[in-house]
Structure 1
Amino acid sequence: MVDVVARQEALEALVERIRQIAPPRWVQVYLAFETHPDGSNPTWVMLGAVNADNRWGFGQFDLDPQVFDLAVAFLDVSEPTWTTLELKVDRAGTFDVDLGYDGTAPAGEFTPALLERLQDYPTTFQAEYGDPPHAG
């Protein structure tokens, strides 16, 4: 039986840690975490968008060991066990989580579908957010 409270607490702890380590002027952090169905061979990356006044800036954020540990803790209390976690956290603390259950990526690599979403992140972010607040 799934402990819904433990699962929600684990997810909220992960979101809070991402908010704590996000760089100045951040707007959104996108965590992608993929593992084999048995929980082995995790691969992960944190991308994000920052407000660079006249444009959005996109890049890879530093990997934080505590984020990794919290993602694994969330995996440990999830049933069924997910293989793909995509988590977008906004500055206001709102978040969107998408869990996948059929990951088959080789060790150290993302599945092609997730890799494509990572590559398209700047475009999908721009479509959702529009121009930066100071863009004229």
Structure 2
Amino acid sequence: MNKLSFLLCFYFFYFISSHSKAQGVGYTRGEIILKYGNNYKSGVSKSGDKYIAYIDNTSRTTKTFYLNEKDSCYMVMRLYPKSEANSVIKLLNEKYVKISDGVPIRYKDYESSLSLDVYFSEEFVTVEIHGD
């Protein structure tokens, strides 16, 4: 396993080993910045959602927090290089209950009431984490 794969697996394992609040769902803008730091990009998406994005150029991963009108996070989107697709799916299968094999592939975390949707593009694997 090369260094990049190891780092991606470590980051992803850390990501799935904690529950919803630790994932950021339910965090306020201030809590997100306090936990993840000031090195972020923010803006408004094409659909009008405010977001805060943390980009790790070493592992080529992105963690984006989407905020509602109360500046509370309602969804976290994780972006991974497509080369890590097998690792991502393997870890999701070990941790969560798969509830759909369609598009998206959908997982449920019944302990924390999270839903995880997985999408594939030519370059990336996207995991969207939603609270119920």
Tell me the TM-score normalised to structure 1 length.
Answer: 0.24
Bigger strand fraction: 2
Higher relative contact order (CA 8 A, sep 6+): 1
Bigger helix fraction: 1
